[in-house]
């Protein structure tokens, strides 16, 4: 379609709500957007006023056709746009990802004697979710703090009731043992309510309630119960002293952003119950205008199963705020407000979020510069032909040739790229032959179709000395890849002790290069050597993890395959449910019977057989 016919098509677009799809010469969808007025929105891309905007250079030069899908309302357009973006994943639409996994605490009040668990996603299941927290360790630390203050149960109720006596956590005062009737349902519910109030930041209300209960118990001469409420109050007050209220109650997310050319840094501050509890950062490549980028971020973030607060504070106005608020309100089950504050504490919080975004972008630049400096030094010291932006390392894990596996890890610009990690189950090699196994892994990794899809690394690291390096060179040559990437080996440091001396000597990590007998001398604490060691150790860890998984699967299969009534289907379901033979042995009859395709009689036979009865 020529430029004139495209202009004619734009002039004929309807003025109703809908979604527009921009296609390139190959017919591929390269951008999807929504609009309250399709003709007006699309015209803004191609009008003279758009000449100075980022998208003119990158996007419009590739657009040869525009397709529209009409909807009755702007809200329907927003939902359709979100669905189509997930389906087509256009090149120029925003991809809202960061380099962290976030966690939340989950508690289902409808459950019998509720407990907290750590989860990654937040479905609409009626449970309460608190967070998010930037790492599993951060979530676990909050959970430990909660369990020290509020002695709720730690384990699933089935496993608790199967025990003959309360668990160790009850003995150290961190579980009230509801499974054994050592606390009334009413008092346990009070603990659950207190924990939720604490996580919501409503500590004042919580302290008042616990003081009332302490005084009431003391007046009725129930001194042990009064002491328990007193201890809870002390723990709560000590913790509350460390928290700072930033504004009056409620849950809010504060959004800030910073723009540098086509890079957009987004910062979210989480305020829960008036207390600033955490933040999240996104580094994005975005070539359109700021308001459109911000709106795209919000749509993708809040429709992805994350916690939705009562209010979202923005640094600028976005066109689809009313429609987005309506959609999020329906998901949350209560009204959600989205707006740009112009004065007061809310405005100050937005400015703080913007400062965080600017600082995060500077830190990313500094980290990238530091990583590049390390890679440049690595290239110089090892005489590499190319800068090692992409480094791959492969390792083999086996025990006497059984359950043999290979692993491949990838570091991109000095950081792990876990999405690119690969596991290889050894199929063609029998017995203990590590080099044959490595050859099989390389043959599968560097197949022509895999190379076309993934590309080649800049550097491959081998675990071992000059012998391992020479053997790998032969493998690479056999695949016709000599010279297509750099190759080095890293020999582990070894600990040796002189029998006549108490001193323990540790040899250096050594790097070997093709065609050179002696290793390259790198300072042991130097960043380039530490990077190579980290890559090697990560490949080793990844291989061992997969090897243990396979051994666990084999263990559960061999442990129950002779038991009558346990066929292939039931073995598979038991394996999927328990994960290992040890966990299956520890399970109760009720837990085994609860597995799909199992029944009580077969569960009892299996339970007895696993215990040698």
Q: Which of the pair, 366 or 242, is modelled with greater confidence?
A: 366
Strands 128-133 and 117-119: unpaired
Share of the chain above pLDDT 90, in %: 13
Residue 411 — very low, low, confident or very high, per pLDDT cuts 50/70/90?
A: very high
Residue 565 CB coordination number (10 Å): 13
Q: Which fold has domain 561-610?
A: DNA polymerase; domain 1 (1.10.150)
Angle, CA 93 vertex, CA 92 and CA 95 arms, to 5°: 115
390-525 CATH fold: Nucleotidyltransferase; domain 5 (3.30.420)
Give the E-state strand segments of 122-220 in sequence order: 128-133
Beta bridge partners of 258: 265
Could you confirm whether domain 3-88 is CATH 3.40.1440.10? yes
Choose the CATH number for 252-361 among 3.40.50.11890, 1.10.10.10, 3.40.50.720, 3.30.420.340: 3.30.420.340
Domain boundaries, the chain: 3-88, 252-361, 390-525, 561-610
CA–CA separation, 216 vs 186, rounded Å?
15
Q: What is the mean pLDDT of residues 72-94?
A: 85
Comparing 484 with 290, the larger pLDDT belongs to: 484
Residues whose CB is less than 8 angstroms from the CB of residue 181 and which lie 6 or more positions away in sequence, other chains included: none
- The yes-or-no verdict on residue 243 having pLDDT over 70 is no
- Spatial distance between the Cα atoms of 373 and 379, rounded to a whole number of angstroms: 10
Residues 174-200 have a mean pLDDT of 83
Fold match between 390-525 and 561-610? no
Q: Give the Cα-Cα-Cα angle 532, 280, 316 (nearest 5 degrees).
A: 130
Which range has the worst mean pLDDT, 13-22, 53-62, 90-99, 370-379?
A: 53-62
Q: Where residue 100 falls among pLDDT bands split at 50, 70, 90?
A: low
Q: What is the DSSP string of 495-507?
A: EEE-TT-S-EEEP
Mind spelling out the 3-state secondary structure of 213-258? HHHHHHHCCCHHHHHHHHHHHHHHHHHHCCCCECCCCCCEEEEEEE
In 3D, which of 429, 428, 421 has the Cα closest to residue 545? 421
Per-residue pLDDT, averaged over 447-470, amounts to: 89
pLDDT at 128 > cutoff 50: yes
Q: What are phi and psi of 491, to 5 degrees?
A: -90, 130
pLDDT of residue 602: 83
Q: Report percent pLDDT > 70 for the chain.
A: 82
Q: Is 608's pLDDT higher than 70? A: yes
Choice between 402 and 356, residue whose per-residue pLDDT is larger:
356
The most distant pair of C-alpha atoms in the chain lies apart, rounded to whole Å, by 93
According to DSSP, residue 402 is labeled: E
pLDDT at 513 over 70: yes
* pLDDT value at residue 559: 55
Q: What is the pLDDT of residues 197-212, one digit of tens each?
A: 777 766 666 677 778 8
pLDDT, tens digit, 9 for 90 and up, residues 39-65: 888 887 776 454 444 444 566 778 888
In sequence order, what E strands does 335-401 have? 337-339, 390-399
Residue 241 has pLDDT above 80, yes or no: no
């Amino acid at each position: 379609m020529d430029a004139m016919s495209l202009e004619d098509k734009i002039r004929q677009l309807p003025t109703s709500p809908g979604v527009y799809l921009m296609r390139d010469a190959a017919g591929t969808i390269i951008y999807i957007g929504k609009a309250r007025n399709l003709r007006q929105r699309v015209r803004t891309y191609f009008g003279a006023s758009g000449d100075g905007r980022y998208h003119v250079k990158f996007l419009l030069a590739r657009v040869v056709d525009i397709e529209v899908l009409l909807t009755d309302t702007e809200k329907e357009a927003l939902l359709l746009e979100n669905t189509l973006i997930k389906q087509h994943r256009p090149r120029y639409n925003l991809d809202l990802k960061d380099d962290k996994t976030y966690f939340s605490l989950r508690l289902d009040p409808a459950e019998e004697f509720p407990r907290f668990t750590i989860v990654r996603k937040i479905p609409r299941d009626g449970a309460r979710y608190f967070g998010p927290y930037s790492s599993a360790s951060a979530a676990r630390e909050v959970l430990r703090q909660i369990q020290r203050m509020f002695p709720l149960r730690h384990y699933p109720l089935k496993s608790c009731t199967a025990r003959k006596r309360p668990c160790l956590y009850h003995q150290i005062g961190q579980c009230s043992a509801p499974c054994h009737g050592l606390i009334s349902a009413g008092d346990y519910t009070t603990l659950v309510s207190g924990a939720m109030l604490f996580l919501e930041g409503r500590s004042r209300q919580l302290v008042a309630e616990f003081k009332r209960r302490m005084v009431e118990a003391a007046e009725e001469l129930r001194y042990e119960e009064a002491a328990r409420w007193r201890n809870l109050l002390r723990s709560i007050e000590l913790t509350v002293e460390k928290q700072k209220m930033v504004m009056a109650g409620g849950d809010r997310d504060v959004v800030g952003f910073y723009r540098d050319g086509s890079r957009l840094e987004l910062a979210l501050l989480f305020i829960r119950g008036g207390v600033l509890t955490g933040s999240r950062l996104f580094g994005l490549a975005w070539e359109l205008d700021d308001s459109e980028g911000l709106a795209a971020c919000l749509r993708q973030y809040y429709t992805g199963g994350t916690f939705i607060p009562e209010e979202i504070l923005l640094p600028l106005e976005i066109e689809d705020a009313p429609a987005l608020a309506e959609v999020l309100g329906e998901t949350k089950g209560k009204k959600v407000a989205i707006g740009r504050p112009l004065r007061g504490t809310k405005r100050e919080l937005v400015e703080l979020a913007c400062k965080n975004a600017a600082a995060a972008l500077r830190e990313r630049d500094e980290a990238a510069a530091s990583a590049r400096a390390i890679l440049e030094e690595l290239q110089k010291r090892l005489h590499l032909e190319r800068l090692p932006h992409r480094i791959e390392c492969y390792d083999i894990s086996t025990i006497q040739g059984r359950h043999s596996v290979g692993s491949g890890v990838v570091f991109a610009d000095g950081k792990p790229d876990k999405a690119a990690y690969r596991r290889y189950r050894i199929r063609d090699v029998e017995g203990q032959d590590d080099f044959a196994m490595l050859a099989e892994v390389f043959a599968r990794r560097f197949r022509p179709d895999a190379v076309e899809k993934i590309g080649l690394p800049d550097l491959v690291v081998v675990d071992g000395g000059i012998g391992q390096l020479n053997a790998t060179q032969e493998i690479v040559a056999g695949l016709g890849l000599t010279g297509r990437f750099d190759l080095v080996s890293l020999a582990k440091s070894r600990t040796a002790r002189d029998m006549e001396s108490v001193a323990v000597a540790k040899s250096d990590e050594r790097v070997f290069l093709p065609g050179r007998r002696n290793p390259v001398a790198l300072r042991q604490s130097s960043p380039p050597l530490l990077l190579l060691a980290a890559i090697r150790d990560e490949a080793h860890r990844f291989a061992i993890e997969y090897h243990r998984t396979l051994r666990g699967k084999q263990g559960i299969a061999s442990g129950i395959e002779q038991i009558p009534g346990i066929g292939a289907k039931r073995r598979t379901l038991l394996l999927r449910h328990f994960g290992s033979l040890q966990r299956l042995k520890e399970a109760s009859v009720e837990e085994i019977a609860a597995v799909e395709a199992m029944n009580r009689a077969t569960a009892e036979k299996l339970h007895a057989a696993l215990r040698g009865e």
